[in-house]
Amino acid sequence: MPTKRLSMRQLREILRLRLHGDLSVRQIHRSLRVSVGAVSKVVSKAQEMELDWPMIAQLDDVQLAGKFYPEADTRQSFEFEMPDWREVHQQLTRKGVTKHLLWEEYTQQYPNRCYSYPQYCHHYQVWLKKQRRSMRQIHKAGEKLFVDYAGQTMPIACASTGEVRQAQVFVAVMGASNYTYAEATWTQSLPDWLGSHARAFSFFGGVPQLVIPDNLKSGVTKACRYDPEVTPAYQQLAAHYGTAIVPARPYKPQDKAKAETGVQVIERWILARLRHHTFFSLSELNACIAALLKDVNNRPFKQLNGSRQSWFDSLDKPALSPLPKQSYEYTDIKTVKVNIDYHIQYDDHLYSVPHHLVGERVDVHASNTMVTLYFHNNVVASHPRQYRLGMTTTPGHMPTRHEKHQNWTPGRLMNWAKDIGDEVLKWVKYQLDSKPHQEQAYRVCLGILNLSRQYPAQRLNNACAIANQQHLYRLKHIKAILTSNQDRLYRKHDDSRAHLPQAHENIRGPHSFH
């Protein structure tokens, strides 16, 4: 195995792309930026153990690591027949078709008037250099999809306020046929970016082997020529559709020449035509883009036979992988640490996990409807997503006796509170009594008690006295009282009240109001 241990995500992705996606070692190397040697060793090890993808998909990270890391850790003559180079160029985009195969078919058709293979290749290169720069790259059918955003935006006016908002234009181009898809979205954020990919796959009616994006922040967290980091949600989309993400190198536009050309085509043949139109909704703009897109894809090529549509139907479409049964749903992915109250926080709401995971880091997968929690690639909890402040607790996640919770008990919390002051004890007891399960109050109790490291005990006790009187039971209320020095005023007012004079010439009693 490689001297530098691969991450579990890299190891699992190598196995998926090889055993499920049937990619070559070098294609996997370009997709994941993992060395060829490391990829080869992983693939060889999997073959030795006779592993297939369904078996690997059932293994969690610990079991998978145990299997792969058991110790861890020419001339021209007029009498010769010149081939139709446009047809040759088109045929080379088909999967498995090579120049040598086309040359053999050419020699069978013209056995006495054919060029030798070196001359055949030479004349093809001469013809190719005379064509436009964008034609010099040969892309296999169904292999690559180039994606990017157009530099030009489209204004959309609000019908009620007149406010103008700029919409972004997403462009996707198939490598072999130049078949193009475009749509408008409000932003270039991750949900819009991934949603555009899903709609593009539906438009094409299949999935390519590779997706070539630019180093957009929504898709690539770290742009690097040799080792770019793709966002987890982008990788999840790739796994859902069975494709691989191969980001273009930074500052290398030749890596995504198809996308650059596709953007130019969309800007000149669609966006320029719509410049005098006023749009009042995103759907209205996308309806116009879709109508003009048909004209773009059916327009005949200038230097080649056919059109984008005809090339797509004959080349790319038959080679695309089928779409999954269910369309992709955007899922936000992040890693969080389980608190001592065996809950994690996502968007201001708390969700429970099994109590034995206290202190561990878990992966949160949040869709529009569900929040699913993973530990070592195993689902440990699943909750309906809530869009409000509060707490969702599954009774089965609650601890009975566990060493991580024996360190913190209601008795220990109340003893700490009593050492600070009676008012602090009263505030903490209310928190423990107000929750269905006392463990749910541990976090806020620790928050108030830890303030004793920042403020003197007397000040914290006075602040809790004010909070108790005014029924303020949020930690932020206590912090606000302390930062605004209300506790000092409370103490001075309380001390001075006993020394107020009871008789004075300016003080009038009941007899003054007869």
pLDDT at 284: 92
Binned at pLDDT 50, 70 and 90, residue 1 comes out as very low
pLDDT at 509: 63
Name which CATH class applies to 144-319.
alpha beta
Contact 449, 475 (CB under 8 A): no
pLDDT at 207: 92
Q: Is 134's pLDDT higher than 50?
A: no
Binned at pLDDT 50, 70 and 90, residue 132 comes out as low
Binned at pLDDT 50, 70 and 90, residue 396 comes out as confident
pLDDT, one tens digit per residue, over 419-469 is 888 888 898 888 888 877 777 778 788 888 888 888 998 888 888 998 888
pLDDT at 110: 75
Tokens found for residue 77 = 């003559």
Contact 144, 208 (CB under 8 A): yes
Question: How far is the C-alpha of 267 from the C-alpha of 254, rounded, in Å?
Answer: 19
pLDDT, one tens digit per residue, over 11-58 is 888 888 888 888 898 888 888 888 888 889 889 988 888 888 888 888
Binned at pLDDT 50, 70 and 90, residue 502 comes out as low
Q: Is 286's pLDDT higher than 90?
A: yes
pLDDT, one tens digit per residue, over 154-174 is 999 988 888 899 999 999 998
Radius of gyration, alpha carbons of the chain: 34
Instruction: Kindly list the distances between the CA atom of residue 310 and the CA atoms of 98, 134, 171, 392, 410, in Å, as whole numbers in the listed order.
Output: 21, 19, 20, 54, 73
Neighbouring-strand partners of residue 390: 349
Q: Is the pTM of this model over 0.75?
A: no
Binned at pLDDT 50, 70 and 90, residue 224 comes out as very low
pLDDT, one tens digit per residue, over 163-213 is 899 999 999 998 888 899 999 999 988 889 989 999 999 999 999 988 888
pLDDT at 236: 85
Question: How far is the C-alpha of 231 from the C-alpha of 189, rounded, in Å?
Answer: 12
Query: b vs e for 331-361, b when ≥16 Cβ sit within 10 Å of the residue's Cβ?
Result: bbbeeeebbbbbbbebeebbbbbbbbbbeee
- For residues 76-83, give the mean pLDDT: 66
Q: What percent of the residues of the chain are helix, what percent strand, and what percent coil, each to the nearest 5?
A: 50, 15, 35
Highest mean pLDDT among 66-80, 262-276, 299-313, 352-366: 352-366
Length of the chain: 514
pLDDT at 452: 87
- For residues 321-347, give the mean pLDDT: 87
Q: Is 255's pLDDT higher than 60?
A: no
Q: Is 496's pLDDT higher than 50?
A: no
Q: Which of 407, 291, 283 is nearest to 355 (CA)?
A: 407
Average pLDDT, the chain: 81
- For residues 235-246, give the mean pLDDT: 88
79 vs 84, more confident: 84
Phi and psi based region of residue 391 (left: phi greater than 0; alpha: psi -120 to 50; beta: remaining): beta
pLDDT at 492: 46
Going from N- to C-terminal start, the domains of the chain cover: 8-68, 85-130, 144-319, 332-402, 408-497
Question: How far is the C-alpha of 226 from the C-alpha of 241, rounded, in Å?
Answer: 25
Tokens found for residue 507 = 């003080």
